[in-house]
């Protein structure tokens, strides 16, 4: 597996604790949408995986949440300023598209949206014709980001759609509840493949709901953070 050097060239706040970080890789590399880079963090000595949002030549975009409760890996990476150079391994990962021409549903909470965005954007850019729909969950409207980007995709591609579920707020234009509330038979019967990414409990809960609805395991793809 290749070790590369990544220089932080842009840092943007998306919400109070979520950042878009753009790194420039020393050596260009091929990546399959859905894959991640494992950063080797010099202060905490942790290795932490981060899914790629998208890659533009040597510039690699990430969205990373700074977790207050964590073991400091996410704080370390989010607290660095532009100019820091980090070592990273990869890209690696098997959370990639099946390459089947199917209707696909994508379910994410929090930063789980990152690889799903890369997967969907890649298919749409290749004029994939079947339906692609994202179900995104978060707590409140103020924790959301990238919604404008999804709206732009929706305006541009008639086969793309998305819905947002807020668990702690009832706001116009959003569903109130959890992402798995979407998974009633009437909604899922249109889809043949399911990609789930986010916190482990959510991934298990969604997978259970899908298997209860007789979705076969081979059509469920998951990435647990």
Ligand X SMILES: Cc1cc2nc3c(=O)[nH]c(=O)nc-3n(C[C@H](O)[C@H](O)[C@H](O)COP(=O)(O)OP(=O)(O)OC[C@H]3O[C@@H](n4cnc5c(N)ncnc54)[C@H](O)[C@@H]3O)c2cc1C
Interface with ligand X (CB under 6 A): 36, 46, 48-51, 62-65, 67, 70-75, 93, 110-111, 114, 199-200, 223, 225
Contact indicator for 52, 91 with CB cutoff of 8 Å: yes
Whole-angstrom Cα distance, residue 112 to residue 41? 21
In the bound state with ligand X, the residue whose beta carbon lies nearer, of 53 and 191, is: 53
Nearer residue to ligand X within complex by CB, 70 or 177? 70
| Closest chain position to ligand X (CB) | 70
CB of 156 to ligand X, least distance (A): 24
Q: Which is closer to ligand X, CB of 36 or CB of 150?
A: 36
CB of 136 to ligand X, least distance (A): 13
Min separation Cβ 176 and ligand X, Å = 21
Query: Backbone phi, then psi, for 147, in 5-degree steps?
Result: -65, -40
Measured distance CA(21)–CA(173) in Å, rounded: 29
On whether the CB atoms of residues 160 and 127 are closer than 8 A, the answer is no
Residue placing its CB nearer to ligand X in the complex, 39 or 191 = 39
Nearest-approach distance from CB 130 to ligand X, in angstroms: 26
Contacts (Cβ under 8 Å, ≥6 apart) of 3: 87, 88, 89
Structure tokens that stand for 39 in this block: 């950063």
């Amino acid at each position: 597996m290749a070790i590369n050097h990544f220089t932080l060239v842009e840092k943007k706040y998306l919400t109070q604790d979520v950042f878009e970080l753009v790194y420039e890789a020393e050596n260009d590399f091929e990546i399959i949408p859905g894959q991640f880079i494992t950063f080797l963090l010099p202060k905490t000595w942790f290795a932490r995986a981060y899914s790629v949002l998208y890659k533009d030549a040597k510039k690699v975009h990430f969205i990373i949440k700074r977790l207050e409760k964590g073991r400091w890996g996410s704080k370390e990476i989010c607290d660095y300023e532009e100019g820091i150079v980090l070592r990273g391994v990869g890209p690696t990962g098997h959370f990639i598209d099946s390459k089947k021409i199917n209707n696909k549903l994508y379910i994410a909470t929090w930063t789980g949206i990152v690889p799903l965005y890369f997967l969907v954007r890649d298919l749409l850019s290749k004029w994939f014709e079947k339906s692609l729909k994202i179900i995104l969950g978060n707590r409140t409207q103020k924790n959301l980001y990238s919604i404008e980007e999804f709206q732009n995709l929706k305006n541009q591609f008639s086969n793309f759609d998305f819905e947002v579920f807020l668990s702690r707020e009832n706001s116009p234009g959003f569903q109130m509840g959890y992402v798995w509330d979407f998974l009633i038979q009437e909604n899922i019967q249109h889809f043949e493949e399911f990609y789930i990414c986010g916190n482990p409990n959510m991934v298990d809960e969604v997978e259970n709901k899908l298997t209860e609805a007789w979705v076969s395991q081979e059509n469920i793809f998951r990435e647990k953070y």
